[in-house]
A and B are shown apart, each in its own frame.
Chain A
Amino acid sequence: NAGVTQTPKFRILKIGQSMTLQCAQDMNHNYMYWYRQDPGMGLKLIYYSVGAGITDKGEVPNGYNVSRSTTEDFPLRLELAAPSQTSVYFCASSLDRQSYNEQFFGPGTRLTVL
């Protein structure tokens, strides 16, 4: 198993540009999550999904969109990049309700918006 994979690893965007951060998992997990990590702030939940076709907002969803067309993939879309979106983005997944929310994390995408 590759676990949770994310692409790209690094990206520099200009203000106003758009991009999609890719996330995939091969563990057949139902639940997937997007977090952002800012220095000294821990991780904050952006969006999550409890299954294909079902997504919901987390604590900091503004400026982002998600979709979940398959169990495996959970892309995060930035439509109009802003400097405040400079951060490290982590995708995570967990199995189901009986898994006690043990989340497995990808390696992260480091995004800089200039």
Chain B
Amino acid sequence: AQSVTQPDIHITVSEGASLELRCNYSYGATPYLFWYVQSPGQGLQLLLKYFSGDTLVQGIKGFEAEFKRSQSSFNLRKPSVHWSDAAEYFCAVGARAGTALIFGKGTTLSVSS
């Protein structure tokens, strides 16, 4: 079955500290992988995506993610977190256009000062 697991429901990080959000997926075909961010009361904004090629991808707002096929993982990282990064983060996997993205249940990030 196709699924996405985000093991951490809630993470608190100090401002300026590094961040890693975990994502593991189960998908039969070659996956397209995405990270979205959702601020309170807002829609989903695409942070970054992986389709093929270089397994380390750069996104907006200083985020990056690494695709590891052997571990079926696509973890999101940021070297220095800002208070404005507090939000909910969703990992998603999909195939060709016209099919559903399969979303994880999300990780809520809190940033402490």
Contacts and interface: CB of A to CB of B under 8 A. Distances in A.
Classify chain B: how many residues form its interface, as a range.
20 to 34
A103 interface: yes
Interface residues of A, number: 29
A96 B97 CA distance: 6
Q: Which residue, of B9, B36, B45, B100, has the highest number of chain A Cβ atoms within 10 A? A: B100
A43 interface: yes
A103 B42 CA distance: 16
A108 B43 contact: yes
A87 to B, nearest CB: 14
Contacts of A31: 97-98
A74 to B, nearest CB: 13
A32 to B, nearest CB: 10
B90 interface: yes
A40 B97 contact: no
Contacts, number: 69
A102 B44 contact: no
B98 A48 contact: yes
A95 interface: yes
A53 interface: no
Interface in A67-114: 90, 94-108
B74 to A, nearest CB: 14
B11 to A, nearest CB: 15
Nearest to A50: B98
A52 interface: no
Give 5 nearest A-B pairs by CB, closest first.
Answer: A42-B103, A45-B100, A105-B44, A107-B43, A101-B94
Interface of B: 4, 9, 32, 34, 36, 42-46, 49, 51, 90, 94-101, 103-106
